[in-house]
């Protein structure tokens, strides 16, 4: 802040301005203190602003972030790579992730866990678990008797579930994102395969919870790709549906603009069909290539042992097979080679692309299957598809592209999207849209449920001949490819006592026999209701409207039973007239939330229980539901509106009443006060008519007991144990990292300081005694490091480093001071010359025009002389800190604006546990005489010429010449 002060004649504005400035600044400081106090109690707006996405693949994961100023960017890992292997290494004393874990897998595959996605949410008897054990025989997998799932036995004391291992990986991905964003991140969107069922989705959510992540949404990877594709082609989307096929496995997507109440016309994508093959992918190709390399090695017969029995050798072959698959995508042949594969025997063999394709011939034949399946789901043909977009790492294999091109019958396949990063970028866009910290352009997403879900229940019925039978009923909640998020309500209207119903998957006939085995249990949940009978007894005088169960398939595709309630309806008499106060209250309540609730984004469809269900009725129901989904019109009923026709009727009655009341008031105003006998007779007849009635809704919550039938979720206690287990590992890793950091710092300090003691700039500022003392301490510390320092604890290492820094602090400070002397002394000489010329010029001004007093000029002359004495001889400069070199109160600011200060304050280095090194004492200045007057430029400003007053020199820094 530069303040220019003008001086004219005998009147000085300086005193007035400074006085005003001081008062104003006091007021501002008081207000500023109050403001800071208020801000201290406000929540931090910068805390956890950034959001992230994790494209969680079976082999690789990609992480993307959005933070203020950085829209949608892939986060690099510690190796500066854009994708990270989904792998974790558990050693006895440390954990490694990503590429570090894969490096250990070649040496010790027993401690490295990867490809965990295939066994998430699976029971021990699932074929996928047996397949995993076959691929990775080095791991000890055991059955969890409590949940029926599996866990990895790491040692006698430690065991880890797949969810815990995935939680470690997700926590690591969060750390990478935070390092890249340079701030805390809590919110994330995670991609999962579209073929994941309810148990698998819950397992991913459990892993994220263990990792401390708040999952905004689980988004299907195909949907994330489709969103990324649509976001960057927003302008090309119109009201006509454009159809694209995304091959991840295979997905049919339509893009079109739709009208919304909240945001007007917006683009929307809808998933119309999904086809998948769980066991078809790049990993299966790599395994076959690995086995082929093992066969080639055995055929050479350089070792009597079978390489397939050596776990370390097979891990090396798998790593080479992964590299070979990538190279053969661009080359017709390549040489596979591994040094010291087994028994110090090197392996080298040529593999051609034709050999690789022959190994995977049956896999390539299965590629068109998901495409046909997706087209069947969408009820479309390839002629209706506008574009076929390739996504996924395996689509780079030339044979896969040839088979796909032949299957879709198109001239070419679109490759205008990043196959590796599209899912991560689409997911992070959704994360920004769901986060409250960012505002993005709306892009509506209507995902689809791949597996149908239905409700089943049994009830005893009596036939015409009096025979009682048990009738099994089914009600479809969500059809295959039904859009979500969506809410639905099913009404049981023939139960008057406690009962049980079941939530299961619907018809899974579209899955193969092998896929059904991998899918697992088709039964989801048993729901036991209690309190139904007591609710009927409590409201015996009311009419029952059934037992309503509210279901919600949320944004993550997870089905939730929100609540179950018993609904009754009673008739109450309505008052004929309402007072003005009551009318006003009703009007206000309708304005502020009364009446029917507004429609939400989630669709709620009632599913009413019927006693008799014929096959024809079921077909009609399915046909009508498909027509509703294809039309994409308004939902039948929206959340909160079931049972609200009474509210609408009540509103209509109030309107009618208001009109009637208005007419009565008008008639009273027109008619005379006295009424005729005929009018009195009519009034008596109206009194005899029944009073108007209205219906009132009563709901009673029903106690719900849930019994999971597919894969039992871990209990709250188990989740806490898992979180503590992971936190202990994280604390151990952090402590190890801190110790290594301190150890490296101590080593570096010893070696660097020993070297500095022989440099000229350090020799110039230390005495022989100081040098000998520092050298002795450094040698002592170096010997201590060799003998016991590498095994010492973090605290001991910190103390040793702090002791050495304290010893060398004064030396380092003096060296830094000497580095600044040349520039500072040159500036001082310039100021002295300038000040001398200025003083001579002022002396030449006639006394009548002089604006300075004689006292002021003498003071300036004294300061110049004293400074010249301090500046000579130059060999005493090392006693004077740079911050005290310059004179502090020149007078030139009265005639010219003050230039920038040449002074640079040097602050000695500080440490928490070392004493502060005081600067060397400066040379004495001329003592003030008792009778010398105190120099006052103005009543509001005092001038202190004492060079030792560092604080005052800071206050007048802007006035230096």
Pairing of strands 187-192, 214-220: parallel
HSE value, Cβ hemisphere, 13 Å, CA-based, for 142? 12
Same fold, 51-280+367-447 and 448-571: no
DSSP state of 235: G
Q: Is the model's pLDDT at 617 over the cut of 50?
A: no
pLDDT for residue 433 = 93
Structure confidence at residue 606 (pLDDT) = 56
The confidence score (pLDDT) of residue 70 equals 83
pLDDT in tens, 4-35: 333 333 333 333 333 333 433 344 444 444 34
SS (H, E, C) 806-846: HHHHHHHHHHHHHHHHHHHHHHHHHHHHHHHHHHHHHHCCC
Which run of H or of E encompasses 733?
A: helix 716-756
Q: What is the per-residue pLDDT across 175-234, written as a single tens digit (0 to 9) for each?
A: 999 999 999 999 999 999 999 999 999 999 999 999 999 999 999 999 999 999 888 888
pLDDT reported for residue 878? 46
Please tell us whether the domain made up of 282-365 is placed in CATH 3.90.640.10: yes
d(CA 752, CA 771): 14
Cα-based torsion angle of the residue sequence 256, 257, 260, 263 in order, rounded to the nearest 10 degrees: 130
198 within 8 A of 559, measured Cβ to Cβ: yes
Per-residue pLDDT at 476: 93
pLDDT in tens, 354-403: 999 999 998 888 888 888 888 888 888 888 888 888 877 677 788 888 88
Percentages helix, strand, coil for the chain (3-state, rounded to 5) are 45, 20, 30
**What's the pLDDT tens digit per position in 793-852?**
889 999 999 999 999 988 989 888 888 878 878 888 888 888 889 888 888 888 888 888
Q: Are 177 and 52 in contact (CB under 8 A)?
A: yes
For residue 199, the model assigns a pLDDT of 95
CA atoms within 13 A on the CB side of 854: 3
> For residues 540 and 15, which has the higher predicted lDDT (pLDDT)?
540
Return the CATH class of domain 723-869.
mainly alpha
CA gyration radius, the chain: 41
- pLDDT at residue 951 greater than cutoff 50: no
What is the architecture, at CATH level 2, of domain 448-571?
Sandwich (2.60)
pLDDT for the residue numbered 367: 86
Q: How high is the mean pLDDT of the chain? A: 76
Do 420 and 432 meet the contact criterion of CB atoms below 8 Å apart? no
pLDDT tens per residue, range 152-179:
998 878 899 999 999 999 999 999 999 9
Distance of alpha carbon 744 from alpha carbon 750, whole angstroms: 10
Return the HEC string of 143-173.
Answer: ECCCCCCEEEECCCCCEECHHHHHHHHHHHH
Residue 589 pLDDT exceeds 80: no
Separation CA 495–CA 422 (nearest Å): 51
Question: CA-to-CA distance for 664 and 166, rounded, in angstroms?
Answer: 74
Pairing mode, strands 482-484 and 453-462: unpaired
Digit-coded pLDDT (tens) for 79-117 = 999 999 999 999 878 899 999 999 899 889 999 999 999
What are residue 63's DSSP bridge partners? 54
What integer pLDDT is reported at residue 602 of this predicted model? 42
Tokens of 652: 């209509």
Per-residue tokens: 315: 């891990």
801 close to 744: Cβ distance less than 8 angstroms: no
- How many angstroms separate the CA atoms of 78 and 330, rounded? 28
Picking from 120-124, 856-860, 866-870, which range would have the lowest pLDDT averaged per residue? 866-870
Collapsed DSSP state (helix, strand, coil) of residue 77: coil
Per-residue pLDDT, averaged over 929-948, amounts to: 38
Contact, 505 vs 522, CB < 8 A?
A: yes
Task: Indicate if the alpha-carbon torsion angle 574, 579, 581, 587 is positive or negative.
Answer: positive
Element at 687 (helix H, strand E): helix 677-688
Determine the distance from the C-alpha atom of residue 734 to the mean position of all C-alpha atoms in its chain, rounded to a whole number: 22
Whether residue 953 contacts residue 888, with contact meaning beta carbons closer than 8 Å, is answered with yes
Residue 606's Cβ-count burial label (10 Å; 0-12, 13-18, 19+) is middle
Q: What is the pLDDT of residue 895?
A: 54
d(Cα 826, Cα 904) in Å, to the nearest integer?
13
Which sequence spans correspond to the domains of the chain?
Answer: 51-280+367-447, 282-365, 448-571, 723-869
Mean pLDDT value of segment 621-643: 39
Q: How many helices (H) and strands (E) does the chain have?
A: 25, 35
> What local confidence, expressed as pLDDT, does residue 564 receive?
95
Q: Best-predicted range by mean pLDDT among 240-244, 461-465, 622-626?
A: 461-465
Report whether pLDDT(887) > 90: no
Q: How far is the C-alpha of 271 from the C-alpha of 480, rounded, in Å?
A: 12
Indicate the range of 427-436, 611-620, 696-705 predicted with least confidence. Answer: 611-620
Q: Is the confidence at residue 124, as pLDDT, over 80? A: yes
Q: Smallest Cα–Cα separation from 367: which of 415, 399, 327, 342?
A: 399
Rounded distance between C-alpha atoms, residue 753 and residue 746, angstroms: 11
pLDDT higher for 279 or 26?
279
Q: Write out pLDDT tens, residues 439-477.
A: 888 899 999 999 999 999 988 777 777 777 888 899 999
Question: Per CATH, is 51-280+367-447 categorized as 3.40.50.2000?
Answer: no
User: Cα dihedral sign for 733, 739, 742, 744?
Assistant: negative
Check residues 518 and 789 and name the one with the higher pLDDT. Answer: 518
Check residue 621 and give its pLDDT. Answer: 46
Q: Which runs of E-coded beta strand occur in 118-236?
A: 141-143, 150-153, 159-160, 187-192, 214-220
Stretch 277-289: mean pLDDT, rounded? Answer: 87
> Regarding predicted confidence, which is higher, 244 or 908?
244
Better-scored residue on pLDDT, 594 or 306: 306
């Amino acid at each position: 802040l530069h303040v220019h002060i003008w001086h004219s004649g005998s009147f000085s504005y300086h005193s007035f301005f400074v006085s005003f400035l001081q008062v104003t600044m006091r007021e501002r400081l008081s207000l500023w203190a109050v403001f800071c106090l208020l801000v201290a109690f406000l929540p931090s707006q910068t805390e956890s602003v950034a959001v992230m996405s994790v494209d969680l693949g079976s082999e690789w994961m990609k992480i993307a972030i959005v933070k203020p100023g950085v829209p949608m960017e892939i986060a690099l890992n510690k190796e500066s790579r854009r994708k990270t292997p989904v792998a974790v290494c558990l050693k006895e004393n440390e954990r490694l992730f990503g590429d570090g874990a894969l490096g250990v897998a070649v040496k010790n595959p027993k401690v490295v866990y990867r490809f965990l996605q295939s066994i998430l949410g699976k029971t021990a008897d699932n074929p996928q678990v047996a397949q995993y054990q076959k691929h990775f025989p080095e791991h000890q997998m055991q059955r969890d008797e409590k949940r029926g799932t599996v866990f990895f036995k790491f040692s006698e004391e430690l065991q880890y579930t797949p969810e815990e291992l995935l939680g470690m990986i997700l926590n690591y991905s969060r750390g990478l994102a935070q390092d890249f964003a340079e701030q805390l991140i809590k919110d994330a969107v995670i991609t999962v395969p579209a073929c994941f069922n309810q148990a698998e989705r819950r397992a991913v959510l459990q892993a994220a919870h263990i990792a401390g992540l708040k999952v905004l949404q689980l988004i299907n990877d195909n949907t994330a790709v489709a969103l990324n594709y649509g976001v960057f082609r927003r302008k090309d989307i119109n009201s006509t549906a454009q159809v694209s096929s995304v091959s991840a496995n295979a997905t049919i997507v339509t893009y079109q603009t739709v009208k919304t109440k909240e945001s007007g016309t917006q683009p929307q994508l809808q998933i119309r069909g999904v086809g998948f093959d769980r066991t078809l992918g790049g990993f299966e190709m790599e395994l076959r290539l690995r086995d082929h390399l093992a066969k080639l090695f055995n055929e050479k017969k350089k070792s009597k042992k079978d390489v397939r029995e050596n776990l370390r050798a097979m891990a090396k072959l798998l790593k080479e097979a992964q590299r070979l698959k990538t190279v053969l995508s661009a080359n017709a042949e390549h040489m596979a080679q591994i040094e010291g594969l087994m028994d110090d025997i090197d392996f080298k063999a040529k593999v051609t692309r034709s050999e690789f394709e022959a190994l995977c011939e049956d896999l390539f034949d299965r590629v068109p299957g998901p495409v046909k399946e997706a087209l069947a789901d969408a009820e479309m043909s390839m002629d209706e598809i506008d574009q076929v977009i390739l996504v996924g790492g395996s689509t780079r294999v030339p044979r896969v592209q040839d088979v796909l091109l032949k299957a879709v019958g198109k001239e070419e396949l679109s490759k205008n999207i990043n196959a590796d990063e599209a899912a991560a970028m689409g997911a992070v866009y959704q994360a920004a849209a769901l986060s409250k910290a960012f505002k993005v352009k709306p892009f509506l997403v209507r995902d689809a449920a791949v597996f149908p879900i239905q409700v089943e229940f049994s009830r005893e019925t009596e036939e015409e001949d009096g025979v009682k039978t048990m009738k099994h009923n089914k009600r479809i909640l969500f059809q295959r490819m039904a859009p979500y998020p969506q809410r639905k309500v099913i009404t049981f209207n023939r139960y008057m006592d406690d009962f049980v119903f079941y939530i299961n998957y619907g018809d899974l006939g579209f899955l193969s026999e092998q896929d059904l085995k991998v899918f697992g249990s088709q039964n989801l949940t048993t729901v036991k209701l209690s309190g139904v009978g007591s609710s009927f007894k409590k409201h015996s005088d009311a009419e029952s409207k059934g037992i309503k169960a509210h279901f919600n398939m949320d944004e993550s595709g997870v089905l939730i039973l929100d609540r179950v309630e018993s609904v009754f309806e009673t008739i109450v008499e309505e008052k004929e007239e309402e007072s003005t106060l009551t009318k006003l209250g009703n009007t206000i309540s309708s304005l502020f939330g009364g009446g029917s609730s507004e429609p939400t984004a989630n669709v709620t469809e009632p599913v009413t229980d019927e006693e008799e269900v014929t096959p024809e009725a079921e077909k009609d129901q399915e046909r009508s539901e498909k027509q509703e989904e294809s039309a994409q019109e308004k939902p039948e009923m929206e959340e909160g509106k079931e049972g609200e026709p009474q509210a609408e009727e009540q509103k209509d009655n109030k309107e009618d009443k208001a009109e009637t009341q208005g007419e009565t008031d008008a008639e009273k105003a027109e008619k005379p006060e006295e009424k005729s006998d005929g009018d009195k007779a009519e009034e008596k007849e109206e009194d005899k008519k029944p009073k108007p009635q209205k219906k009132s809704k009563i709901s009673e919550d029903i106690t719900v007991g849930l019994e999971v039938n597919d894969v039992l979720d871990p209990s709250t206690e188990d989740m806490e144990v898992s979180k503590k287990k992971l936190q202990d590992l994280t604390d151990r890793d952090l402590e190890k990292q801190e110790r290594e950091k301190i150890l490296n710092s101590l080593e570096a300090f010893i070696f660097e300081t020993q070297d500095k003691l022989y440099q000229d700039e350090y020799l110039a500022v230390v005495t022989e005694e100081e040098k000998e003392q520092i050298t002795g301490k450094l040698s002592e510390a170096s010997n201590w490091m060799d003998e016991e320092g590498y095994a010492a604890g973090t605290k001991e290492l910190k103390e040793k480093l702090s002791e050495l820094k304290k010893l060398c602090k004064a030396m380092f400070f003096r060296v830094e001071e000497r580095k600044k002397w040349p520039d500072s002394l040159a500036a001082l000489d310039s100021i002295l010359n300038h000040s001398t010329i200025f003083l001579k010029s002022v002396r030449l001004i006639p006394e009548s025009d002089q604006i300075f007093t004689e006292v002021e000029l003498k003071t300036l002359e004294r300061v110049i002389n004293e400074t010249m004495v301090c500046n000579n001889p130059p060999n005493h400069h090392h006693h004077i800190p740079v911050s005290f070199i310059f004179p502090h109160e020149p007078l030139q600011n009265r005639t010219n604006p003050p230039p920038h200060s040449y002074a640079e304050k040097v602050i000695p280095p500080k440490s928490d546990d070392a004493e502060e090194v005081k600067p060397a004492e400066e040379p004495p200045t001329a003592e003030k005489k008792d009778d010398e007057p105190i120099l006052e430029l103005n009543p509001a400003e005092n001038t202190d010429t004492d060079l030792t007053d560092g604080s005052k020199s800071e206050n007048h820094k802007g006035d230096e010449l």
